[in-house]
Structure 1
Amino acid sequence: MCGINGIVSKKIEDKESMVKSMNHRLSHRGPDDEGIWQEEAVALGQKRLSIIDLSAAGHQPMVSACGRYVLVFNGEVYNFRELRHKFDYPWQSHTDSEVILAAWEKMGPECVKQFNGMFAFAIWDREEQNLAIVRDRMGIKPLYWSLNDNGLFFSSEVRALLASGSVSKNLDEDSVVDFLRYQTVQTPKTILKEVQMLLPGTILNYNLKNNQVSFDTFWSSFDKVKTHNPGSYEEVKQKVRNLFFESVERRLVADVPFGAFLSGGIDSSAVVGAMAKVSNNRIDTFNITFSEDEFSEAPYARYIAEMHKTNHHEIHLKPDDFLHLLPDALSAMDHPSGDGPNTWVVSKMTKEAGITMALSGLGGDEVFGGYAIFNRMAALEKRKALWKLPLFLRQMAGRSLTALKPGVASTKVKRLLEMKDYSFEEAFAISRQALMDPQLEGMLNRKELPVHNPVEWLKKQHLQKEGDVLSRVSVAELTTYMQNVLLRDSDQMSMAQALEVRVPFLDHELVEYVLSLPDDIKRPVTPKKLLVDSMPDLLPDYIVNRPKMGFVFPWRDWLKGEMHNYADERIRSIAQRDMFNEKGVLDIWSRFLKGDASVTFSRVWPLVVLEEWVSGLGE
């Protein structure tokens, strides 16, 4: 696990010092080693966090045995040992990095289809004068890039690109709207005009000879939503179990101490249970507990820890503790997000306990239908005929509902009823929206809002009609909320502590199989029924039937209490920025403080985060 950087430019003379500045900005990602390789128009840099083969033989940038290719790599290729046996290569290390080089030398870009893992890497072809930048299938590892008159720049983090001094800090105002709608910016865009994020499962090629960028897609979850006859339910359960255990076992390959995040929910309990069964070592588990009992998951996590005899660590957090840590957590946020400090805190405590790699239950909800949106979207699909009614009747029904039962849910139903025609993509986007468009219109100084980014993205993938509805919802979740909120937060907040996080539920073989299953097998009549049925020995009733929480902080109470002054200062500051309407922003804040049911904490917290992040650009 590392941080990588690079520049390809004929115009910039001192690229080496520029990459050194970019490397310095990534010091937290790779405290174990640093490398820079420079030749004519190209400079590549890397900061290394040693996980596999801790020796100096893993130093990067790494040059292939033939001398033609130069690699910088962030991530892990879990099946590198079996791939190693496929290639006749003069090995100099036991790293997965060298396996990537060997595979590329023998097979070219086609080799990426054989990699099982999470990765973002760049390979410079000295002969063809071509830079290939590659991102893993699920988008677990980030890769940002920018192309301007000076050349092409890439990095693991946005702020490292800015450290080059050649990439603009100008905000993309449409992306700011996207952020306020969804608490993130949807790939490939970012919050900055000049910076893009490489799409998952994609290779970017930049050829210096013709100064052109092109893209090749080697994997897409949209292509996997094709149902087939999987056999009996017993056979399906066994297949799911086998794939999951194989995924967990792959992710235990490491030459450093490792552990797991344990919330005591279904997903993290399954991961810890599988780890305990396939590992010969006692597992270290980590759980955050709160003074507020309604938010504490300690009893559930403790139950699983005792069940599997783990070395369990409870991190007890008081509001004052969190308020003390919050500035550091937000300063670690490379790209603004409505979530993230929770991962920063648990990562900090995990790293301080001597752990360098941890497994997470991230992805279980998206793959196995754990969110309420799965049932909601299935219900909407069954009621599509409702949108054949005259629009004015649906508008009347929506107004009546919000008047009788004000709140976030009623507001979203009203917006759904106002759709001209039923659209899976638009219904999904509305269901996932935080601040609704009428609220945003009152907060922003602009005549009209941009189109919904996720709607347009999903439409381009032809998701409307292909596959059963639950698999379509899974793909929509995986390609929006999962990639652009959860995975981005997991990476930036854990790597701020030099902690590698691995996610077994996002093994592409497991994801492909579950996406191909028909709805009647996956329908979540009980929480993640297929997953639970596949692992009854790991998931007792006490865990399965508990209230769903995850790593949730008591934000509502904190923002009205101990954190009020902190949030108030930042919201009043962002309200005065040119693109915002001060009166509208302060009205939203006031309504939250007064307990307006339509303005929950997730509608105001992104404003705090955005102001903190934007103000930090001047540093």
Structure 2
Amino acid sequence: MCGIAGIVGEKSNKKILTKMLASQNHRGPDNTGIYGDNEVMLGHNRLSIIDLTKNANQPFTDVNKRYYLTFNGEIYNYLELRSELNYCFKTDSDTEVLLAAYLKWGKDCLHKLNGMFSFAIWDSEKKKLFAARDRFGVKPFYYCLYEKDFYFSSEIKALFETGIIKKPNKKVWANYFSYGSYGLPHETFWKDIHQLSAGHYIEYEKNNLKISKWYFFEEEIRKYSTQNLSYQESKEKYTKLLKDSIKLRFRADVSIGFNISGGVDSSTLLALINNEKSTKNIKAFTFYCDNKEYDELPWVEEMISHTNNPLEKVLLKSNDVKKLSAKISDLQDEPYGGIPTVAYANIFKKARNLNTIVLLDGQGMDEQWAGYDYYLSNNNTNTIQGVVNSPFKKNVLTKEFLKYADKPTYPKPFSDDLLNKQYRDLFYTKIPRALRFNDRISMAFSTELREPFLDYRLVEFAFSQPLEYKIKNNVQKKMIRDIASEYLSNSISYAPKRPLQTPQREWLQNELFDFVLNKLKTLKDSEYSSWFNFSEIEKELKLYKECELDSSFHIWQWLNLSLLINK
């Protein structure tokens, strides 16, 4: 897990690249590397995970010094790929395996990779850049074209070191406030700053930028249509894949731990880890807010009592939010998901302090096994779990600003409505935003986060299963719960989903209300004030303070912008 950056063009400049790398140094403090010539500058912030020697530092080149690679992520099946490649390896790293795979198979190597990645390879002979992003976009890739040069990086803040002016993308911001959208897969909240969509690659040559899709999820799903496996056969196959996914993600030359909540997903992960692996020194991490209505500690401690893993409990207090929310905002560069994200960030800080460099979590199970409550209804608009009414307050936006709003629509490649909802959440809404939130907060503390449940083999297989394998008698994630029940008590494996992890609603209404008022004053005095009708905001605040606690999302939206405008 690292940071990458680069400049392609006649104005490629080491000084600028150095500033770009410095801005995202938290992603990889173990080594900073630079390669450059008259037409390209490639940079790398290294967090050493596999092959800790300096021989695996990047940018990495082949023996002929024609190709130069800067790579962020992990290729989990690098040992299997290594055995396929007739290549004289000089390191034990997955980085060298990735480059060797590209030399042998070209861009077709992408289909052989099981991992999370964004990388760029410079062909110094053809003067051509090839860059790619993994299937679900676990690892980020941002880019911009500025004064005829092509810039790319792992974080948006690095691109603002190039001289490009920071201006809001008003359409994305208007959609965020109006519909809760965080942008389409290629968009960001900032004008002229783009991201490479998940499952796509870039070819840049002679000032010509070409973007192509390489991962066709819909086609992969159709391959499963003739399997017709029984429930038991599907359960056995999925369990085997799941165990293999976890095994692959334990490949590291540094200490590994995992994050756990009281839900069935992370508890299943914990159970399978301890079923396959010695539990000695494998730490579990969880956060809590010292509030019995929200904390999941009773379920976590029940689970841990069976496995005896060392448990690190990380407390977030309301007073911590003021300082931490600003720091996380600076690291995210864009709006993020509220106080739960702040609480989750504390886990990575604690893990780093304890020298646990790699953490696993249970992200991705709800999307592949239809775990959200709105999957049970025909309501296709409100995708915020646990909220009854619309959380969006368009009435506080001025008519002029609302003109920029354009309600996002998403592809519906399947004939089944449930599958289309799952597809939307995997590639357009839930997963992209969660992966972005989690990448930034893990890298903020120089730790690596791995998501075993987002192994593409698991996602494809689960997604393709019949409806009754996912939801039966209104029990969601039916198969994963049945798998979990073989390792866990029924109180955990069949527990209902608990969407509210922190007392965000109550804190914003009480302990943090003055903080909210102060930040809204900052917003009112800013250049963004023309977006809002502040008399309407005051009405909404009064209503929220007195009684209306169905959702705090609109309050957090205003905070998000106020925290970002001074950055």
- 1:614 aligned to 2:565? yes
| 3-state secondary structure, aligned to 1:19 | helix
Unaligned runs of 5+ in 2: none
| 3-state secondary structure, aligned to 1:315 | strand
Q: Letter of the aligned partner of 1:9 in structure 2? A: G
User: Does the CA contact (< 8 Å) of 1:7 and 1:19 recur in 2?
Assistant: yes
Match of 1:475 in 2: 423
Residue 448 (structure 2) aligned to one of 500, 504, 519: 500
Report the TM-score, using the length of structure 1 for normalisation. 0.85
Give the distance between the partners of 1:272 and 1:341, measured in 2 at CA. 23
Match of 1:217 in 2: 213
Could you tell me how far 1:326 is from its partner in structure 2? 3.4
Match of 1:75 in 2: 73
Give the distance between the partners of 2:541 and 2:216, measured in 1 at CA. 40
Q: Name whichever of 330-339 and 478-487 sits farther off.
A: 330-339
Match of 2:9 in 1: 9
User: Does the CA contact (< 8 Å) of 1:4 and 1:73 recur in 2?
Assistant: yes
Counterparts of 1:353-392 in structure 2, within 5 Å, are 353-376=354-377, 380=378
Could you tell me how far 1:590 is from its partner in structure 2? 2.7
Could you tell me how far 1:147 is from its partner in structure 2? 1.4
Give the distance between the partners of 2:53 and 2:149, measured in 1 at CA. 34
Counterparts of 1:118-267 in structure 2, within 5 Å, are 118-165=116-163, 167-180=164-177, 181-182=179-180, 184-207=182-205, 209=206, 211-226=207-222, 227-267=225-265
Give the distance between the partners of 1:430 and 1:158, measured in 2 at CA. 29
Q: 1:238 to 1:336 in 2, by over 3 A?
A: same
| 3-state secondary structure, aligned to 1:331 | helix
Match of 2:530 in 1: 578
* CA deviation vs aligned residue, 1:337-365 (integer Å, no higher than 9, x gap): 23321221221122222210000011111
Match of 2:556 in 1: 605
- 1:491 aligned to 2:488? no
* CA deviation vs aligned residue, 1:563-598 (integer Å, no higher than 9, x gap): 112121112322452222222333333322222256
Give the distance between the partners of 1:176 and 1:184, measured in 2 at CA. 8
Q: Percent identity?
A: 29
Q: 1:604 to 1:447 in 2, by over 3 A?
A: closer
Match of 2:53 in 1: 55
User: Does the CA contact (< 8 Å) of 1:178 and 1:186 recur in 2?
Assistant: no
Q: Letter of the aligned partner of 2:360 in structure 1? A: L
| 3-state secondary structure, aligned to 2:426 | helix
User: Does the CA contact (< 8 Å) of 1:230 and 1:517 recur in 2?
Assistant: no
Could you tell me how far 1:29 is from its partner in structure 2? 0.6
- 1:337 aligned to 2:353? no
User: Does the CA contact (< 8 Å) of 2:142 and 2:156 recur in 1?
Assistant: yes
User: Does the CA contact (< 8 Å) of 2:43 and 2:70 recur in 1?
Assistant: yes
* CA deviation vs aligned residue, 1:455-514 (integer Å, no higher than 9, x gap): 1xx23xx43xx2433322211111123333211000001100111000011100111111
Counterparts of 1:496-535 in structure 2, within 5 Å, are 496-524=444-472, 525-535=474-484
Give the distance between the partners of 1:447 and 1:87, measured in 2 at CA. 55
Give the distance between the partners of 1:238 and 1:73, measured in 2 at CA. 35
Could you tell me how far 1:316 is from its partner in structure 2? 2.8
* CA deviation vs aligned residue, 1:497-554 (integer Å, no higher than 9, x gap): 1110000111001111111112122225213111111232233211134353367221
Give the distance between the partners of 2:549 and 2:274, measured in 1 at CA. 43
Residue 443 (structure 1) aligned to one of 393, 397, 405: 397
Give the distance between the partners of 1:79 and 1:517, measured in 2 at CA. 25
User: Does the CA contact (< 8 Å) of 1:228 and 1:518 recur in 2?
Assistant: no
* CA deviation vs aligned residue, 1:119-138 (integer Å, no higher than 9, x gap): 01011111221111110001
Match of 2:317 in 1: 318
* CA deviation vs aligned residue, 1:346-399 (integer Å, no higher than 9, x gap): 2112222221000001111111111012111xxx2xxxxxxxxxxxxxxxxxxx
- 1:589 aligned to 2:541? yes
Q: 1:39 to 1:429 in 2, by over 3 A?
A: farther
Residue 562 (structure 1) aligned to one of 502, 507, 511: 511
User: Does the CA contact (< 8 Å) of 1:138 and 1:201 recur in 2?
Assistant: yes
| 3-state secondary structure, aligned to 1:83 | helix
Give the distance between the partners of 2:457 and 2:407, measured in 1 at CA. 28
Could you tell me how far 1:179 is from its partner in structure 2? 2.2
Match of 1:387 in 2: none
User: Does the CA contact (< 8 Å) of 1:575 and 1:586 recur in 2?
Assistant: no
Q: 1:542 to 1:563 in 2, by over 3 A?
A: same
User: Does the CA contact (< 8 Å) of 2:391 and 2:554 recur in 1?
Assistant: no
| 3-state secondary structure, aligned to 1:106 | helix
Q: Letter of the aligned partner of 1:177 in structure 2? A: A
Could you tell me how far 1:80 is from its partner in structure 2? 0.4
Give the distance between the partners of 2:549 and 2:298, measured in 1 at CA. 30
Residue 498 (structure 2) aligned to one of 535, 539, 549: 549
User: Does the CA contact (< 8 Å) of 2:136 and 2:432 recur in 1?
Assistant: no
Q: Letter of the aligned partner of 1:567 in structure 2? A: V
Q: Letter of the aligned partner of 1:213 in structure 2? A: L
User: Does the CA contact (< 8 Å) of 1:259 and 1:358 recur in 2?
Assistant: yes
Choose between structure 1 and 2: higher helix proportion. 1
User: Does the CA contact (< 8 Å) of 2:242 and 2:458 recur in 1?
Assistant: yes
| 3-state secondary structure, aligned to 1:615 | coil
| 3-state secondary structure, aligned to 1:511 | helix
Q: 1:350 to 1:196 in 2, by over 3 A?
A: same
| 3-state secondary structure, aligned to 1:204 | strand
Could you tell me how far 1:228 is from its partner in structure 2? 4.1
User: Does the CA contact (< 8 Å) of 2:67 and 2:124 recur in 1?
Assistant: yes
Q: Letter of the aligned partner of 2:498 in structure 1? A: M
Give the distance between the partners of 2:403 and 2:284, measured in 1 at CA. 45
User: Does the CA contact (< 8 Å) of 1:469 and 1:519 recur in 2?
Assistant: no
| 3-state secondary structure, aligned to 2:299 | helix
Could you tell me how far 1:336 is from its partner in structure 2? 1.9
User: Does the CA contact (< 8 Å) of 1:32 and 1:48 recur in 2?
Assistant: yes
Give the distance between the partners of 2:323 and 2:382, measured in 1 at CA. 35
Could you tell me how far 1:212 is from its partner in structure 2? 1.3
Q: 1:601 to 1:432 in 2, by over 3 A?
A: closer
Q: Name whichever of 536-545 and 43-52 sits farther off.
A: 536-545
| 3-state secondary structure, aligned to 1:293 | coil
Give the distance between the partners of 1:281 and 1:287, measured in 2 at CA. 17
Q: Letter of the aligned partner of 2:543 in structure 1? A: R
| 3-state secondary structure, aligned to 1:294 | coil
Q: Letter of the aligned partner of 1:98 in structure 2? A: E
Give the distance between the partners of 2:398 and 2:493, measured in 1 at CA. 43
| 3-state secondary structure, aligned to 1:542 | helix
Give the distance between the partners of 2:465 and 2:200, measured in 1 at CA. 25
* CA deviation vs aligned residue, 1:415-469 (integer Å, no higher than 9, x gap): xxxxxxxxxxxx63454599969832542341644464541xx23xx43xx2433
Counterparts of 1:75-114 in structure 2, within 5 Å, are 75-114=73-112
* CA deviation vs aligned residue, 1:117-174 (integer Å, no higher than 9, x gap): 0001011111221111110001111111111333111100000111222x23111111
Give the distance between the partners of 1:536 and 1:55, measured in 2 at CA. 43
Q: Letter of the aligned partner of 1:353 in structure 2? A: L
| 3-state secondary structure, aligned to 2:556 | helix
Match of 1:350 in 2: 351
| 3-state secondary structure, aligned to 1:549 | coil
Q: Name whichever of 293-302 and 571-580 sits farther off.
A: 571-580
Report the TM-score, using the length of structure 2 for normalisation. 0.93
Give the distance between the partners of 1:141 and 1:453, measured in 2 at CA. 27
| 3-state secondary structure, aligned to 1:548 | coil
- 1:279 aligned to 2:233? no
Q: Letter of the aligned partner of 1:85 in structure 2? A: S
Match of 1:422 in 2: none
| 3-state secondary structure, aligned to 2:531 | coil
Q: Name whichever of 49-58 and 473-482 sits farther off.
A: 473-482
User: Does the CA contact (< 8 Å) of 1:221 and 1:475 recur in 2?
Assistant: no
Could you tell me how far 1:294 is from its partner in structure 2? 0.6
Q: Name whichever of 286-295 and 358-367 sits farther off.
A: 286-295
